[in-house]
Amino acid sequence: MQTSGDLIAVMLFPGVDLLDVTGPPEVFSLLRREVPEAAAYRVVLAAESLEPVVTAAGVRVLPDVTFEQLKDARINTLMVPGSVETDAAGRLRAVTPPGVVAWTHTLAARSARVASVCVGAHLLAAAGLLDGKRATTHWSTAPQLAADYPAVTVDPDPIFIRQGNVWTGAGITACLDLSLALITEDHGERAALGVARQLVMYLKRTGGQSQFSVPMEPISTTRRMEGLRHHITANLTAPLTVPDLARQASVSERQLARIFKTELGTTPGAYVESARLEAARARLESTDDTLERIAATCGFNTIDTLIRAFRRKLNTTPTEYRRRFHP
């Protein structure tokens, strides 16, 4: 099967996450609307056979071609979505069907670039495509990816990561951001921003933006910790030192550290900084406040402290963040 260099092949297999499969084609299809002169991508869904495939959502999807038909094709981009199952302990685990792994390895060799969507990174890793590379995936399966494939440097924070011609994307809707990044590489920033507008994605996120935010942290199990979280959010300009928080919670400093580690998996200081950073991100996105005012009202006190936090946590600066994400 000989094809043009604009072929995008999306792998399809039973139990795959539906949005991982349908999201990227929707993004790619809008390119011609925004840039009529651009060469259209040809997107095909490829599976083991041409029989309908039942996704994790229970929706049946009809493949366009088989993996076999693509083995001699010239593929621009191979997109590898993922699938999860629940183990006996009730935890989500990414699945890597051996047949899909084998075809991932075979088709990747025919592809100019390869991109995993969400937990599809586990399939790339199983196929040996991430060895020695930095990669991301959905935050819930990042520990599994790191444990199963020690040759891969797993970073669960970014929206997407590029390592040469291999891209890995974070969870679920991050497939839209990843697809926009691929359009940017092929057709430039203006075209990608136009497609983002068509998708009503006015916040076109960069790969360096974190897939986490403080409101997404697990809800703690005790009233004491919930009270502390609310206290921190309501008092970002206060010192919020470990002794301060320990007094607020009526516990020792050692017990406070143990509570944060057990319930939130972090330290008091790191949580406070994340809360302040989240508040600063919200102000950068929704207000025209100066950096000096944002630093003061979010508890960073100085612009330099604010900038260092953004560089350390988000790999960008407040000014660059505002330029990209302020509507």
Q: Is the pLDDT of residue 214 over 70?
A: no
List residues bridging with 65 in a β-sheet. 46
pLDDT at 90: 78
* Domains of the chain, start order: 7-198 (3.40.50.880), 214-325 (1.10.10.60)
H or E element, residue 20: helix 18-29
pLDDT, tens digit, 9 for 90 and up, residues 6-31:
899 999 999 999 999 999 999 999 98
Between CA 323 and CA 118 the distance in angstroms is 27
Q: Are 61 and 45 in contact (CB under 8 A)?
A: yes
Between CA 158 and CA 135 the distance in angstroms is 9
List residues bridging with 94 in a β-sheet. 84
Summarize the confidence of residues 256-269 as an average pLDDT: 89
Flag whether the pTM goes above 0.85. Answer: no
Q: Indicate the range of 63-72, 127-136, 221-230, 281-290 predicted with least confidence.
A: 221-230
**Which residues are known to be catalytic?**
118
Amino acid at 10: V
50: confidence class by pLDDT, cuts 50, 70, 90: very high
Neighbours of 134 (CB within 10 A): 15
In the chain, % of residues over pLDDT 70: 91
- Which is it for the CA torsion 200, 204, 207, 212, positive or negative? negative
